């Protein structure tokens, strides 16, 4: 089993563009940025195929597949990470408790 990656903030579109300009001519950095863009496009395509399969599955009233639910959750997690704003807090992992709610003022 692959080791878990440490938590980190996702790279946003503006940051990718800034890195592209800053490291223009650095083939390694450009290749990594292109790889990131390609992976994100592939995930978008997978999301579209998943939605189509899920729709047909539901229309046929075939119940709920565990594998489909796990894929759905992975896609949701990816979507949340990708849409996170720079500087926002990363959600806690499952094995970490949420931060306590601030006390409400009377």
Q: How many domains does the chain have?
A: 1
pLDDT tens for 1-57 read 678 888 888 888 899 999 999 999 999 999 999 999 998 899 888 988 888 888 888
Decide if 69 is inside a domain: yes
Annotate 17-51 with b (16+ C-beta within 10 A) or e (fewer).
Answer: eebeeeeeeeeeeeeebeeeeeebeebeeebeebe
**Tell me, what's the pLDDT at 68?**
80
Instruction: Please compute the mean of the pLDDT values over residues 56-72 and round it to a whole number.
Output: 80
**Tell me, what's the pLDDT at 25?**
95
Pseudo-torsion of CA 80, 86, 89, 93, nearest 10°?
40
Decide if 41 is inside a domain: yes
25 secondary structure, DSSP code: T
Whether residue 33 contacts residue 19, with contact meaning beta carbons closer than 8 Å, is answered with: yes
Decide if 92 is inside a domain: no
**Tell me, what's the pLDDT at 95?**
53
Domain with 22, as residue range(s), is 13-83
Decide if 66 is inside a domain: yes
């Amino acid at each position: 089993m692959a080791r878990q990656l440490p938590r980190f903030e996702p790279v946003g579109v503006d940051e990718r563009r800034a890195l592209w300009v800053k490291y223009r001519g650095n083939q390694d950095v450009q290749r990594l940025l292109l790889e990131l863009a390609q992976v994100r496009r592939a995930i978008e395509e997978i999301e579209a195929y998943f939605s189509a399969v899920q729709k047909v599955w539901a229309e046929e009233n075939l119940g709920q597949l565990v594998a489909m639910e796990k894929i759905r959750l992975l896609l949701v997690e990816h979507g949340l990470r990708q849409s996170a704003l720079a500087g926002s807090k990363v959600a806690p992992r499952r094995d970490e408790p949420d931060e306590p709610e601030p006390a409400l003022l009377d």
